[in-house]
Structure 1
């Protein structure tokens, strides 16, 4: 049954990028009802101000409904959650869709904001996709939430092992699935046959490897003029997503003679998968979306199978292959046991994937006497050389209270401040995408 059968569930989502907003908002909908990702809940979105704050276009592309959506600093958000902001009502559930350090800072800040309260929201956090790096670091930064969502059986086992291994409470680990899996199952080749390369902002990072991948994709289009070859991009130049992108494929493609059957596309990944016959990537979560639909999927080995690329996660999947093999007509067959362990079409269904999370939240909301204070593994006693720096990046002191001078406006910024902010973001992005690569190349001379 739904988490709340008598009233609309009030849920807040704090996100720091477009992909995390998508994950957080869809997760909120999934845990609120058992029959639809879009349920009758009150969903308020908060976008954490920073380098990757989504643009209006990115939010539109995500396509997730929210009853309210506003940009905040960390301190503004904590003030709202603490009940100091006028007109704020208590939430039932709070989803922290942030990078690990952001989750940890909010857990400590919320601990201070909720001190002495008899009722607080159930705090939920997790990962947007495949967890292929910084497993222990990321997990311990998320420890302290009431639910730490694992997107698969394999992840749940790994998460509990890390928590148990350091003596931290592992009861918060809850197995679910990626909330954006879905869409029609693949039934056969389209006309024309469509090959899609799912690009990633930071994998690979260097110009040589990104140019290589683009060249091989273009070569594939030339070898197969009867096919439509699409380069699926996450963001437009000047926009940021979860990871920094110093060398956008769009800029590399400007210097390439592209064949007529080759196109750059944006938009919702699900819409692109509707017409995909072969999904190719280095390690994008799009591979799991495609596998869920039974679309033939390839994880490239051309640049090696390496932890830094994330494609090592797909060892045993049956999906590893090279461009040479694809050019020769190879089509991979995914290993069913491996796929099931990833929470992808496990047991032939997806509707019950969030049942455990719903039951856990319902139990916590009905707990007599309310919920206990948040208790992260990292404290000033357990991590005195690490935690203060994480909190300071969000203008919080070692005890989680706002530092003097922390940015926290009581109203929307005026037009001059908005212009200055946009200019500052533009300068930052220009520095990341244009200046930084030049300086790096000069340093390598």
Structure 2
């Protein structure tokens, strides 16, 4: 632990996708006690897997770190054991968080780091499952007062300690407040990789967006995409909108464009943000940009738009085509952590204070997740095994430390790994849908 406030706090962020890297790295900056930019030494680790970010995706996030490397779960645990980190931010899917918590507990370090985790956006599914997989961290961040109450209710409902739940906000909110500009009229649809899932539903949304552009030829209509073909993000995207757009009858109108890049930069020129349930809606609302949540495919838990019940934002393409602009409910906004009232500057105070208090302790208690071989004997071992950990959190036989690979061997290994990833993505985006269609014949 840092011996004084002037000493740099060493932070390690482990992420498994581009969106979680963005959340984790920005969260680390906001919750770590620091007086100057040099008060944090930030080390980045990318958990090796199907969604490991590309160089382009990492650059888009724009977070500078002192080091960044790709690791397995066991390699990360060895790095933690070898290096004296003060804080660890686990920006991972729930199962990976649980595995790393057990792995960290098994290290039995006399002075262990503070462990922080949370969610990258709106929590609209698997609430109990995801939260219990994150139990055991010293700090479980909730992005709003609404989430604080829900998270604590889950932990208390199973008799687990809920003191780790700490209110914060999404760390990537920001940007200038919305100001209309004379002559500018831009509608942006924020696409999601896995919502909706079916070809018919995704084609419907794309078709209506293109029809909106044709109905309003003087309006710029943008389809904001999360990733380029071949890239993966937090969720699998089997039917990229880019591919669907190529096959749309009649082609695309001249005022319609596909765009990539930082969402904040796109919002700088947005006059209406439309989505099904993307976290981009919270970024938009934070800045006061007019925002619409679509009901075209219903209001359903599977879509996540049920989260916006009571927001005043639910509407359809028919109404938007006719000029309707939803007005958000202010009481709903105040509970959702969008901090549109100017309170964002203090949104991380509680989290920063909790981390500071934990750092000041001479010794932290052992990590004690709710799930153990006693409480979840039919569930936990499988989660740990996926990350090559045994039931006690120690590495499984055969996953011992290997010699550092360098030079030509590293180049060859990395090339083979990238080819394997490409084959996997091709299977997900091309082969799997064909097999499913054949099975429906």
The residue number in structure 2 matching 1:180 is 172
The residue number in structure 2 matching 1:211 is 203
In 2, the alpha carbon distance for the partners of 1:352 and 1:365 equals 20
The residue number in structure 1 matching 2:384 is 391
What is the DSSP-based 3-state SS (H/G/I as helix, E as strand, rest coil) of the residue aligned with 1:288?
A: helix
What is the DSSP-based 3-state SS (H/G/I as helix, E as strand, rest coil) of the residue aligned with 2:140?
A: strand
Correspondence 1:19-418 to 2 at 5 A: 19-33=19-33, 40-83=39-82, 89-113=83-107, 115=108, 117-189=109-181, 191-256=183-248, 257-345=251-339, 347-368=341-362, 370-406=363-399, 408-412=401-405, 414-418=410-414
In 2, the alpha carbon distance for the partners of 1:4 and 1:354 equals 21
The residue number in structure 2 matching 1:440 is 436
Distance change in 2, residues 1:440/1:110 (3 Å): same
Distance change in 2, residues 1:4/1:156 (3 Å): farther
Return the offset for 1:35: 8.5
The residue number in structure 2 matching 1:18 is 18
Judge conservation of contact 2:191–2:224 (CA < 8 Å) in 1.
yes
In 1, the alpha carbon distance for the partners of 2:44 and 2:381 equals 27
TM-score by structure 2 length? 0.96
What is the DSSP-based 3-state SS (H/G/I as helix, E as strand, rest coil) of the residue aligned with 1:351?
A: helix
In 2, the alpha carbon distance for the partners of 1:168 and 1:16 equals 27
Return the offset for 1:416: 1.9
In 2, the alpha carbon distance for the partners of 1:230 and 1:435 equals 29
Judge conservation of contact 1:299–1:311 (CA < 8 Å) in 2.
yes
Stretch of structure 1 that moved more, 207-216 or 418-427: 418-427
RMSD over equivalenced CA pairs, Å: 1.6
Distance change in 2, residues 1:348/1:34 (3 Å): farther
The residue number in structure 2 matching 1:86 is none
Structure 2 unmatched runs, 5+: none
Judge conservation of contact 1:210–1:249 (CA < 8 Å) in 2.
yes
Give the length in aligned residue pairs.
Answer: 435
**Residues 359-401 of structure 1: CA deviation (Å, up to 9, x unaligned):** 1111111113x10110000000000000000000001111111
In 1, the alpha carbon distance for the partners of 2:401 and 2:196 equals 37
TM-score by structure 1 length? 0.95
Judge conservation of contact 1:3–1:32 (CA < 8 Å) in 2.
no
In 2, the alpha carbon distance for the partners of 1:3 and 1:297 equals 47
In 2, the alpha carbon distance for the partners of 1:366 and 1:33 equals 11
What is the DSSP-based 3-state SS (H/G/I as helix, E as strand, rest coil) of the residue aligned with 1:425?
A: helix
Distance change in 2, residues 1:34/1:323 (3 Å): farther
Regions of 4+ moved over 4 Å: 33-36
Stretch of structure 1 that moved more, 56-65 or 168-177: 56-65
